[in-house]
Structures are given as C-alpha cells and as structure tokens.
Chains A and B, each alone.
Chain A
Amino acid sequence: MFRSNVKNRLLVDKIMMGVVFACVITAITPLLWILGTLFYGGAEALSWEFLTQEPGAVGGGIPPAIGPAIQGTLIIIGLSSILGIPIGVMSGIYLAEFGGSWFSKQIRFFTDVFMEFPSIVLGVVAFLAIVLILGHFSVWAGAFALSLIMFPIIARATEEALKMVPWSIREAGTALGLRKWIVTLRIVIPAAKNGIITGILLSVSRVGGETAPLIMTILGSSQFFGGLDSPMDALPLRIWRFSLQPYDEARLAGWGAALVLVITILAIHIGVRYWFIHRRKSMGMSPRFSKVGV
C-alpha cells in the first residue's frame, strides 16, 4: 500500500518543482528586464564628463552631467550613516541585552511602527523641524530625515542578530567573571557582526534611493557641494528632475543617472560584503569539515 503510489508521489514532486521554478522565473524576469532596460537606456549617456561635470544649461544636445548628484548621494548617505548607525546599533543592543522591561517593549513597538512610516512624512518632519527653523534648505535636514529612516531598520536588525547569538556564549562570558558590558561588547557583538552589517547595508540601500524626503530637505541644486548649510543635489532628485523635462538629452541623462545609482548601491553592497567575507574566510569561519584529534 505504501509502495504502490510512489510513482504518483514522484510525479507530484516533479510538478511542484516545476511550479516553484516557474514562480521564480516570473519573479526574476521583471527584475532582469529592468536591469536590462537600464543598461540599454543608460549606457549611452555614460562618459567621464557626464560623471564629473555640473549639469550646466539645458538644451544643446548633450545629456546634462550628474557630477554634483553623485557627490551629493555619497555625502548624504555618509552623513545619514554617521547619524543613524550608532544610534540604531545602540538601540538594538539595548533591546536585545537589556530588554524585557516595559520600557523596552514600548521602544520595540515604536521602532516597528516607525519602520512603516511613509518616507515623505519623515521628510515633512525634517522640513518642519529643521528647514523652517533655520530658514533654508540644508544637508543637515536631509541627513536627519534619512537617519530617521535608517534607525529602525538597523535597530531591529541588530537586535535580531544579537538574539541569534546563543545564550550559552553569554553564560560562558559571565562564568569567567566578566562584567555584562564587556561580555556584550567584546564577545556577543563580534559574534553578531554579520547580522549587524547586513542590517546596515539594507538601510543604506534603502536610503540611497529615497527621493521624497530629499525634496523637502536638501531640495537639489546644480552645483557641487557648497557646505552643510546649503541645498545639495542627489541622484534620486536629479533623476526625478530629468524625468520631468521634455528634452531627449534630459531623458537620456535620466537613464544614465539611474544606472549610476544602481551601480553605486551595488558597489557598496559588494564592497562591504567582500571585505567581510574575505576577512571571514581568512579567519576560517567557513563550516567545519575536518575534525582532527579528539
């Protein structure tokens, strides 16, 4: 009775495999199509001048350059990280290691809600809090808004990464007579390093492409970085501006800028991952496959 429907089950197995495979293809295809379109549409615009010059006047047949936009994106990501990463990681540590109290439950709830906030709302908050008070658009405001987006992502990822570290590690540290903050800092966090890095990378990718908050805070500009107190350009803003202009060169420039943005984010990802994977391999954290001795 058990043996007789083996053929049936094998067939069902194959069918399910087929279905799953088809789903995967369906999901990946649009992604590949987008990437392909980006390359196809934007490669033409790429040139040294395109990447390094200011946009200049519109019209004239050549695609306006995006030098300031690239610079601005890198600056805004960097600044937001400086603001958002330490606070996010610290919060994550607090939630994981000292959680359990009513207070931390509220923090966790607050963080979860925060993650779902529409980014334009956060842009408005930054607008009200900083732009209106100071009286002008500035990089500060943009960094503030983006760090608000980064913070909950990093905090949650850090908390989860720390929770994944087995309790027995903390016990071992405590049993050695080490104080709690030393155990957390020198033993648990290094063990959770990969998860924390992943959280940070995720948040960086997220804010790299945010447009709405930037509209209300750094506004955009055609010049290179002119101080933290003034408006600044960024790739998402520039792409948006290009897409609204009726000129063909602007459209082409838009594709190019989009391509550059995707490549930039990709580069950050691969770079950081590689640095850690490379380091990991040399530390030998690959799976154990040789057990010598007893």
Chain B
Amino acid sequence: MATVITPKPASSTIVGSPINIPQKKYKMVTENVNVYYGNFLAVKNISIKFPEKSVTALIGPSGCGKTTFLRCLNRMHDMTKSARVEGKVMIDDIDLYDKSIDPIYHRRKVGMVFQKPNPFPTMSIYDNVVAGVRLNGVRDKKILDEIVEDSLKMAYLWNEVKDDLKKPAIELSGGQQQRVCIARALAIQPEVLLMDEPASALDPIATQKIEETITELKNDYCIIIITHNMQQAVRVSDYTGFMYLGDLIEFRETRKLFTDPKNELTAKYVQGHFG
C-alpha cells in the first residue's frame, strides 16, 4: 500500500501511508474515520498513521474537512450535537471511541491548541498554565510550580514571563498568549499535540517563534498541525497530508510531497492554482 505513481484525475482518492519507515512506531492511528454533520458527510473515510516524535501537517483549501478531522482526534465533536463520528482513533492501540473507555480520561492524552489564542480571561498566566492540572484535583503548590516552569520552558515563554506569573494572561501579546496556550496544553502531559493553524492569527515574528517551538517539541511529542501556509508546512513538518472536500488525496513525506507530488490535484493546490 506504499506510494502511488502516475497522476490521476482529481476524483480519485489516493493514500500513501509511510509504511516504508520501519524504525518508527506509530503514536496515533486512524481507521476509516467518517464525520457526519447531520446528513452531510464532511470527512470521508480517512485512515492515517501518525508516527511518534514527528510533525505531520494537514493542508488543503478552506472547507476541506481538516479541522473537522482534527477534532475527531480528541473527541471535540462530543461538544457538538449535530456531529457524528464513525471509525477508530487509536492512541497506542486504545480506541478513543470505544464505548467501554472513559473518553475524558483518554482525552487528556491529546492536547489541543486553537487558531485564536484563548487563555482563560479571568486567570493569571500561572493559573492558566496549571488550569488543566489543578482543576483535575492536583493541589500541591510545589508540584504546580514545577509544572508551570517546565511547561513555560517547553513553550519558550519562561524567560519572558517568569518575573510576573500573576499577571492576567490576556494582557500578553498575541504571540505570548498563544505560547501560554501551548504551555497549558503541555501541562497535562499529553502524548499527542494537535494544533489548528496555531500561528495564523500572529505576526511574522511571533509565527517564527511558534515554529521554533514546534520544531523543538517534536523531539518528544507527536504533533499534528493544520496550516494554510504552505511554506510553514515545508519548514516545520516531516509528513504532510493533503485533503480536499473531505478526502485524503495524498499523504507523504513533506519534502517529497512538495517537490514531486504524485497527484495532479496536490500539485495544483500547492502551486497555488486554486484554494
């Protein structure tokens, strides 16, 4: 089921899973994931294997289902009444959608960072970062202090805010707020990190910092990132998946997908002919 060669017309769905990297384990595997909004099938039968300690980018034009698919990976669709998810999403061989497991417990294994920075408005930086931990019952101040420092260091924000952790988080700039959100997501010690266009609301320098952060984090986490910015995908990711109208059109190593895409539709999209 490895790579496919000849360019085919746009309607065909082609998936190339990176089976040819035998050394890497897969952290997250999706099998035949379909998502319905009412009667509308928004995500069509997607099966992807995400390797551990890597960054996978999902690209595609607006409305192609990337965000919908990403939200399956931590069961965010439970919040939406009209959404129905079919298929399996497995972390280390545990299916998140299995009826017998507690979804909230397993949801903590998957952290999420959103497009627009959304720190809790009434909380300080410290409180924000620890929110996921403290509100789950951990009270010990020493442990919390440690978590705050570790998480902010991982998010490359520690040095900038360490002197004023009680400051309300919403008083920070956009880029700093986003890094607080990243620290907050990391504080619950997830195994997979989902990022939905994390830098799209930020200025170029903040974007650069976020990208640097992601590049560092990939040494420890499996990261899945949605981006509209082709060059960002090239800079930051190891694997890239191209989605169109709910289908996964192509999934390969980033460098190969961007220098020599096998599917004609992929080639058209990455070169800016539409989207």
Q: Does chain B have a CB within 8 A of A168?
A: yes
Q: State the B residues within 8 Å of A (CB).
A: 74, 76, 78-79, 81, 104-105, 107-108, 111-112, 114, 116, 118-122, 131-132, 135-136, 160, 167-168, 170-173, 175-176, 181, 184-185, 188, 203, 205-206, 209
Asked if B114 and A168 sit within 8 Å, CB to CB, the answer is yes
- 19 A-B contact pairs sorted by A residue (CB < 8 Å): A100-B81, A169-B118, A172-B184, A174-B76, A174-B78, A174-B79, A175-B76, A176-B108, A176-B188, A177-B108, A178-B135, A179-B104, A187-B122, A190-B122, A284-B168, A288-B170, A290-B171, A293-B172, A293-B173
Given known pairs A168-B114, A171-B76, the reply for A294 and B205 (CB within 8 Å) is yes
Q: Does chain B have a CB within 8 A of A124?
A: no
Q: With a CB–CB cut-off of 8 A, which chain B residues contact A100? A: 81
Q: With a CB–CB cut-off of 8 A, which chain B residues contact A173? A: 120, 131
Asked if B181 and A182 sit within 8 Å, CB to CB, the answer is no
| Cβ-closest chain B residue relative to A101 | B81
Asked if A283 and B185 sit within 8 Å, CB to CB, the answer is no
| Cβ-closest chain A residue relative to B167 | A284
Asked if B172 and A172 sit within 8 Å, CB to CB, the answer is no
Closest chain A CB from B74 CB (angstroms): 6
Q: Which of A256-294 contact B (CB under 8 A)?
A: 283-285, 288, 290-294
Most B Cβ at <10 Å: residue of A100, A166, A284: A284
Question: Bound complex: CA of A176 vs CA of B128, how far in Å?
Answer: 11
- Which of B81, B118, B122 makes the CB contact (< 8 A) with A166? B118
Closest chain A CB from B209 CB (angstroms): 6
Closest chain B CB from A93 CB (angstroms): 16
Asked if B175 and A294 sit within 8 Å, CB to CB, the answer is yes
Asked if B114 and A191 sit within 8 Å, CB to CB, the answer is no
| Cβ-closest chain B residue relative to A286 | B171
Q: With a CB–CB cut-off of 8 A, which chain B residues contact A293? A: 160, 172-173, 175-176
| Cβ-closest chain A residue relative to B184 | A176
Asked if A171 and B79 sit within 8 Å, CB to CB, the answer is yes
Question: Bound complex: CA of A177 vs CA of B132, how far in Å?
Answer: 7
- A-B complex: 9 closest residue pairs judged by Cβ atoms: A176-B132, A177-B108, A175-B112, A291-B173, A168-B118, A190-B122, A177-B107, A294-B175, A172-B118
Count how many chain A residues have C-beta atoms less than 8 Å from C-beta atoms of the other chain: 29
Q: Does chain B have a CB within 8 A of A193?
A: yes
Closest chain B CB from A293 CB (angstroms): 5
- Which of A175, A191, A284 makes the CB contact (< 8 A) with B74? A175
Given known pairs A288-B171, A293-B160, A293-B172, the reply for A187 and B131 (CB within 8 Å) is yes
Q: With a CB–CB cut-off of 8 A, which chain A residues contact B74? A: 175
Q: With a CB–CB cut-off of 8 A, which chain A residues contact B119? A: 172
Asked if A171 and B168 sit within 8 Å, CB to CB, the answer is no
Closest chain A CB from B124 CB (angstroms): 8
Q: Which of A150-175 contact B (CB under 8 A)?
A: 166, 168-175
Q: With a CB–CB cut-off of 8 A, which chain B residues contact A176? A: 108, 111, 131-132, 135, 184-185, 188
Q: With a CB–CB cut-off of 8 A, which chain B residues contact A170? A: 79
Closest chain A CB from B80 CB (angstroms): 10
Asked if A294 and B206 sit within 8 Å, CB to CB, the answer is yes
Closest chain B CB from A289 CB (angstroms): 9
Q: With a CB–CB cut-off of 8 A, which chain A residues contact B185? A: 175-176
Closest chain A CB from B122 CB (angstroms): 4
Q: With a CB–CB cut-off of 8 A, which chain B residues contact A285? A: 121-122, 168, 170
Q: Does chain B have a CB within 8 A of A186?
A: yes
Question: Bound complex: CA of A100 vs CA of B81, how far in Å?
Answer: 10
Question: Bound complex: CA of A291 vs CA of B203, how far in Å?
Answer: 13
| Cβ-closest chain B residue relative to A186 | B135
Question: Bound complex: CA of A294 vs CA of B211, how far in Å?
Answer: 13
Question: Bound complex: CA of A285 vs CA of B160, how far in Å?
Answer: 20
Given contacts A171-B118, A172-B118, A175-B185, 13 further A-B contacts (CB under 8 A): A169-B120, A171-B114, A172-B181, A175-B107, A177-B107, A177-B136, A178-B135, A187-B135, A284-B171, A285-B122, A293-B172, A294-B175, A294-B206
- Which of A174, A191, A288, A292 makes the CB contact (< 8 A) with B122? A191
Q: Which of A119-168 contact B (CB under 8 A)?
A: 166, 168
| Cβ-closest chain B residue relative to A100 | B81
Question: Bound complex: CA of A293 vs CA of B161, how far in Å?
Answer: 9
Asked if A177 and B188 sit within 8 Å, CB to CB, the answer is yes
Q: With a CB–CB cut-off of 8 A, which chain A residues contact B79? A: 170-171, 174
| Cβ-closest chain A residue relative to B179 | A294
Question: Bound complex: CA of A173 vs CA of B133, how far in Å?
Answer: 11
Q: With a CB–CB cut-off of 8 A, which chain B residues contact A186? A: 135
Question: Bound complex: CA of A176 vs CA of B39, how far in Å?
Answer: 29
Asked if A175 and B173 sit within 8 Å, CB to CB, the answer is no
Asked if A294 and B122 sit within 8 Å, CB to CB, the answer is no
Q: With a CB–CB cut-off of 8 A, which chain B residues contact A191? A: 120-122
Most B Cβ at <10 Å: residue of A177, A178, A186, A291: A177
